[in-house]
Amino acid sequence: MTESIVAFILFALVVPLAVLPWVHRQYRRFGRLRGWSALVAAAGVLYGCGLVAFTLFPLPVVGPDFCTGRRFSDSWQLQLFASLDDILRDGSPALWQVLLNVVLFLPMGFLLRYRFGRGLFTSVAVGVLVSTSVEFVQGSAVLGLYPCPYRLADVDDILTNTTGTAVGWLLAIPLARLLPPANAEHDPDLAPPGLPRRGLAFAGDLLVFELTQFAILVVLALSGDTTRALTESPRFTTLLSAVTLTFYTLVVPLLRADRATPGQVVFHLALQRVNGGPAPWYAVVVRFVVWWVPVLVLSFGWVLLLAAALVLAAWLRRDRRSLLGLLSHTRTTTRAAARTTPHPTPDHSH
């Protein structure tokens, strides 16, 4: 596996897939994504992504001589307190390395107590588990993705990282008295969703679509020469794009009672009739033909221009309904509001 594929897995897959569940959980728990609580939660997600990057980067270039002089046994340092000998021998550089390992896990201990309310024992156990996982990934050549390890797995790092977790937990005690509450009060989330939220849901759909398509291509490229040839065929990639986009924006909404696409699910949105009740199946088809088919056919630049034009047209309307909503006779609402909106009562007077 080349380093470019590893980089994709880390940043183009792991990071977005960590952010989308976080957004969904924020709306599910608190009914909103704003304020100090959202900032704290986002800091936790970014810290986790940074920890992954720190574990694996910089990515080495694998050449013919990459494993020359590298042995698995040399990549594991299992002698306790060997870092003390390093400090006595090397002085400040080794000391700073130890302190860095402590500081790296301070946010973990802090967040475990401040945001999640975990006790010291649980927090320390989480620190041990995460630190051990980090060292195992480094010592196992990124779980075998590389032919040989390029980072040292050090048992002393587990001790210093765990110490950092405990210190971070202790620091959270006085700091929690000075900071606002980490978790927001629940918002009913009954107000009509604004254009930014609806736009982010669209961006989420594009993200899920692109990641799925890319992940399939990566799997095919790694499966053998026959499947690798498919990834180089423009016809196959076009067909894959069409199938993937159709599945997420037509099949998934038709199967869901709230008619939501994956991006709308993440942001807790639903599609309804104008007078209440779930949108009919043909409304989903209309939205797919009017919006998602052009997204598939047009270039990315034109898609952005078209999206900007639709946003501007919706912004000029007092009710903020989009062209898609007008053509399909639907409105985008929150899931909480959809659950509280009664179904329309049929009129039998005629």
Q: Read off the pLDDT of residues 33-48 as tens digits, 9 standing for 90 and up.
A: 777 888 888 888 888 8
Determine the pLDDT at residue 1.
Answer: 45
Cα separation values, 29 from 44, 124, 335, Å: 16, 26, 13
Residue with tokens 């949105």: 269
Within 10 A of 27 (CB to CB), how many other CB atoms are there? 21
The more confident residue out of 67 and 287 is: 287
**b/e map of 296-331 (b: 16 or more CB within 10 Å)?**
beeeeeebeeebeebbeebeeeeebbbebbeebebb
Measure the CA–CA gap between 301 and 206, rounded to whole angstroms.
14
Let me know the angle formed at the C-alpha of 51 by 55 and 110, rounded to the nearest 5 degrees. 140
Token readout for 287 is 């939205």
Give Cβ neighbours of residue 336 (< 8 Å, ≥ 6 apart). Answer: 31, 188, 189, 190, 268
Q: How far is CA 334 from its chain centroid? A: 21
Determine the pLDDT at residue 9.
Answer: 53
- Specify the range with the lowest mean pLDDT, choosing from 55-64, 108-117, 243-252: 55-64
Of 111, 91, 116, which is closest to residue 51 (Cα–Cα)?
111
Structure confidence by residue, pLDDT tens digits, 152-176 = 888 889 999 999 999 999 999 999 9
Determine the pLDDT at residue 342.
Answer: 61
Token readout for 326 is 């007008």
Structure confidence by residue, pLDDT tens digits, 42-90 = 888 888 878 877 777 777 777 777 777 777 666 788 888 888 888 888 8
Residue 272, pLDDT > 80, answer yes
Q: How far is CA 127 from its chain centroid? A: 22
User: For residue 139, how many C-alpha atoms fall within 13 Å in the half-sphere facing its CB?
Assistant: 17
Of 112, 14, 118, which is closest to residue 56 (Cα–Cα)?
14
**CB pairs under 8 A, 24+ apart, for 211-215?**
211/12, 211/13, 211/16, 211/17, 212/244, 212/248, 213/240, 213/241, 213/244, 214/8, 214/12, 214/13, 215/13
User: pTM of the entire structure?
Assistant: 0.69
Residue 326, pLDDT > 70, answer yes
Token readout for 72 is 């698995």
DSSP assignment string, 150-170: -S-EEHHHHHHHHHHHHHHHH
Q: Which ranges of the chain does DSSP label H, i.e. alpha helix?
A: 3-7, 15-30, 35-56, 82-90, 92-104, 106-114, 120-139, 141-144, 155-178, 195-223, 225-231, 234-246, 252-255, 262-266, 281-287, 293-297, 300-316, 323-328, 335-340
